[in-house]
Structure formats: C-alpha cells, structure tokens
Amino acid sequence: MPPSVQLRGTPVPPPPAELRGDDADVAVPAAASLTAGWLIAGVVAVVGATVLGLCVGAIDLPPRRVVLEVLDRLPLVSADSGLTPTEAAVVWDLRAPRVALGLLVGALLAGSGAAYQGVFRNPLADPFLLGIAAGAGLGATLAIVTGAGDGAGILDGLPLAAFVGALIAVAATATLSMRPGRPVSPATLILAGVAMAAFFTALQTYVQQRHQESLRQVYAWILGRLSTSGWDEVLMLLPYAALCLPVLLLAAGALDVLAVGDDEAAALGLSPQRTRWIVLVAASLGAAAAVAVSGLIAFVGLIVPHAVRMVAGVSHRRVIPLSILFGAAFLALTDVAARTVEAPVELPIGVLTAFIGAPFFFVILRRQVDS
C-alpha cells in the first residue's frame, strides 16, 4: 500500500487505485503534497472574499457587524450584530446568495481548468477547450429566442438549456475524436473540440441573426453574470460541485503520474486512458454546470491554476485544491469589483475577467514560446 498523503500529521486516504496507480507516490515526492500553510492561505482567501462580498455594495456595511450576523446564524452561537432588519435582509437575501454562487462558479471553473491542464499537459488549456462554451451559448440562445428562458428561479429554462448544450458539445467532441481500437490522443481531442466549437458557434450566430430582437439578452448572458433570484441558482449548482470537485481532488495524484508520460504511468499501474476520461468527464460536467448558471466567464480556468502553479509548485496535489480555493476567492472578489467600479451601473463580470486574463494569457504564451 502506498503511504497516505500527510497534512501536518493528519492522514488523508489515498485515492482509489483506478485514479492513482499502485505506485503513484513513487513518481511524486512527499514534499509535493499539500501543506497546511498553503491550505490555510486558500481558506483565508475564501473567507476574506466572502466577508468583503457581504460588506461592499450600494450600502456598505461594517465588517464586524456582518461577521457577527453570520455567526449568529450558526448553531449554538448567539451574537448581536446590531444590523437593522433591512440591512440583515440585504446580507442574506441579496448578497449572500450572490457570493455563494461566485464561490461555487469560481471553484468549478478553476478546478476544471487545473484538471484540463493536467490531462493535456498544457498550461494554455481551459474548461472551454472541448466546446463547452459554444454548446452552452447555443443552448442559451435557443432558450432565449423560444421564450423558455423567461422563467424565474428553478422554473427558468435557460440554465438547463445551456447545460444540455454544453454536454452535447462535449459528447460530440468525444465521439468525433474516437477511432475503433485506437486510444484517443490529447491532440486529437483538442482538434475535435476546436471543430465542434466552430460548428456550434456558427449555429448560434445563425439563430441570433434570425432573431435579432433577442440579441441584447443573448449578449448579456454571453458576457457572464452572477445575478441570482434568491438561493435557487446556488441550490442548482451545489450538487454538481459536490460530485465533481471530490473526483478532481482524488485524481490529483494520478495527474502527477500522467505528467511523466503514458508509458511510465502504465508501468506504475495506472491506466492513462481511463484516468483521462474520468478526469475529463468530471471537469467537463462541473464546468458545464458553472457556465449554465453564470454565462461565459472566461479565463478563470486559465489564469488561476497557472498563477497557483507559479507560486506553489507544479504538483497537482497542490495545484488542484489551491486552484479550487483561490478560484472561488478570485471570482467572488471580481464580482465585488463588477458591482462597485461603475456603481450604480454593474459591469458584466466576464468583461472584468477578460480584462485581467487576456494580458495574463499573453504572458503565458510568451513564456511558452521563449522556453
């Protein structure tokens, strides 16, 4: 049995055999595992982003009172926050659902991005690589032009249509890249994803041109947003996060083994193809769910994992959990900026992430070319 990953003396069970290989720990030294210091830093970032998101807005609230208000809702804790009923309603009915949605979407996009980069062994990979964005865009456009997206909360058909469109695009990409009796190479999968993205984008453009009266609503969704109607969007997304994120965390050791090459990974007892498909399915499902409720928020799955890799090292045992934590904090903070930079006008959050991510992407590209 390989040794369990240690987190300051706390044993963490190793992932299942199909995700790690019998000698996976031989390929990655124990020093590459997640340390308590980095874990605390990620948790502090999430807590700080949450408090800031609850405090800042059209009505600024004192952080101390907001923290006491949150503590007062915990079991066996009683704390008088001093907030008025109106201020408490602002915290729980308006800001808390939006902050929670930002945390979940950021965690899913960044975690999926880190997994994609590990599977394809390419720091330029992101969750939209296999046509998720194009498929979701087509699904959302069809929902808008047909009126299926006119509902509210759980009755809104737009997230469901976007989710189904994203899954159809990923399934089509996988089908197009498969050949009987041959393993699917990452390069073939990427090329199939590019082709599917172009096809679904063409269909979306055709539908938009046929229904020009809906262009404003379509573009509003494409630019990304974290608008919520209570907790409905959070409850929609939570099961996907609970399913996909643990799989990505368990697969971190297997991705470290894959980094040494397929032949070496197979010699260590790992099935490269099976591992890739498990990771890709989990990452794609999580990214599709995030896009369905938030629209196309670009670059989160690209810049957060790469930034984590630059400061914390290349081991996926660090990159994936830290990407999930810092991705959640990053998107929650970006949403605060979107709400306040041009207040009372709210900027599309996808515009801000693109404004930050495009120069970052250029830096990564130059480093790849120069190396």
- pLDDT tens, position by position, 167-189: 999 999 988 888 777 777 778 88
Read off the DSSP letter of residue 91: I
The CATH code belonging to domain 5-370 is 1.10.3470.10
- Helical segments of the chain, H only: 17-20, 24-27, 36-55, 63-72, 85-89, 96-120, 132-146, 157-177, 186-210, 215-222, 232-250, 252-258, 262-267, 272-294, 300-312, 316-340, 349-370
Mean pLDDT of all residues belonging to the chain: 85
Per-domain residue ranges for the chain?
Answer: 5-370
Binning the chain into helix, strand and coil, the percentages to the nearest 5 are 75, 0, 25
The answer to whether the beta carbons of residues 53 and 284 sit under 8 Å apart is no
Q: Is the pLDDT of residue 48 over 70?
A: yes
Q: Which residues contact 289 (CB under 8 A, 6 or more apart)?
A: 108, 163, 236, 237, 240, 241, 244
| Mean pLDDT across 226-236 | 86
What is residue 122's predicted lDDT score, i.e. its pLDDT? 82
- Reduce the DSSP state of residue 330 to 3 states and report it: helix
- Return the H-helix or E-strand segment holding 348: none
Which single residue is written with the structure tokens 């189904």?
164
What is residue 358's predicted lDDT score, i.e. its pLDDT? 86
The pLDDT confidence band at residue 152, using thresholds 50, 70 and 90, is low
Question: What whole-number distance in Å separates Cα of residue 56 and Cα of residue 54?
Answer: 6
